[in-house]
Amino acid sequence: MTLVSSSRLLLVCLSMAAVALAQEPPAHQAPPPSEAPPPPEIIHTPKPPQEPAVLEDGGFSIQPIYWFSKGQPTLRGGQVATTFESLNYPGDSNRPLGGEIGIPTGHSNTLRVSYFRVQGNANSTATQNVSLFGEGFTAGDYLTANYLVQSAKISWDYLSYTWHKPSTSIRLKTLYELQYVNVGTNISAPFKAVTTDASGNTDTNTASGTKTLFYPTVGMALGSELGHHFRWEIRGSGFGLPHRGNIWDTQATVAFRVGPIEILGGEKAYHFKTSPKSEQYFSQTLQGAFVGIRYYWGGLQ
């Protein structure tokens, strides 16, 4: 073979190798876009349902209350009493009257401000010598007494949990409260002669006294709807210290809705005892049915 033939053969081989290399992609080259794997699927987790940012039973509200209770207080001698210092108020008290304002605070939480007052009169005869708020009465004295009890409460009803049922929801609320009680009384012996001592001090045979209780209270409430027009609720709270005052109240309510108005009824109980550390203290338990009408600005939800 001549040198020219060998050169031509070498050129042909090099040309064929160059064509083959041009047709085969490099080992590190990425596959065509049509053969790339699909991107991973993004899974979106649904957010849990949120409670509406209003009261579950309406918006801003105002409610008068009439309470069918007739319990009278009791005046007792305290731990530092040196003589007999107790008095029962026989008979029945007037019906307590009160009211409540509800203010939505977002996410079904509610700020409630409530108040009630009850007053009464009682006549009795002292069965033994007794000292009441520094005034002495003797056995056989005819006594007339009147009193006034006033109670105020601020409660933040915090929605803590909701059980979602197929037909309704049951809501649990935690109650954080401040409660104030003031009770005052006047006691006199109207048929006892007025006397004047050697210093010119006149004894009108009248005793007056006031006791106050101010406590934080905590509790819980359960409530649910029964269809579109009815709902129910039970609640209770209280607080007390050993050998000092205590306070508690409970309530069971059924409400019927008509437009922006609710007609409420149920059973309510309320108890307080002022501190027995003083010479005298008051104790009272009120219990009975109640009715009320609640009006919602903006209508019911």
265: which residues sit within 8 A by CB, 6+ positions away?
253, 254, 255, 289, 290, 291, 292
Residues 281-292: pLDDT tens digits? Answer: 999 999 999 999
Q: Which three-class secondary structure string do you get for the chain? A: CCHHHHHHHHHHHHHHHHHHHHHCCCCCCCCCHHHCCCCCCCCCCCCCCCCCCCECCECCEEEEEEECCCCCCEEEECCCCCCCCCEECCCCCCCCEEEEEEEECCCCCEEEEEEEEEEEEEEEECCCCEEECCEEECCCCEEEEEEEEEEEEEEEEEEEEEEECCCCEEEEEEEEEEEEEEEEEEEECCCCCCEECCCCCEECCEEEEEEEEEEEEEEEEEEEEECCCEEEEEEEEEEECCCCCEEEEEEEEEEEEECCEEEEEEEEEEEEECCCCCCEEEEEEEEEEEEEEEEECCCCC
Q: For position 10, what pLDDT does the model report? A: 46
The Cα 64–Cα 105 span in angstroms is: 21
Q: Is the dihedral of CA 131, 132, 134, 138 positive or negative?
A: negative
Q: For position 196, what pLDDT does the model report? A: 87
257: which residues sit within 8 A by CB, 6+ positions away?
228, 229, 230, 231, 300
The Cα 161–Cα 233 span in angstroms is: 15
Token pair belonging to 246: 């205590």
142: which residues sit within 8 A by CB, 6+ positions away?
123, 124, 125, 189, 190, 191, 192
116: which residues sit within 8 A by CB, 6+ positions away?
65, 67, 96, 97, 98, 99, 150, 151
Phi, psi of 277 (to 5 degrees): -70, -20
Regions of the chain where pLDDT drops below 70: 1-58, 298-301
Strand partners, 135: 132
Q: For position 254, what pLDDT does the model report? A: 96
Q: What's the pTM?
A: 0.77
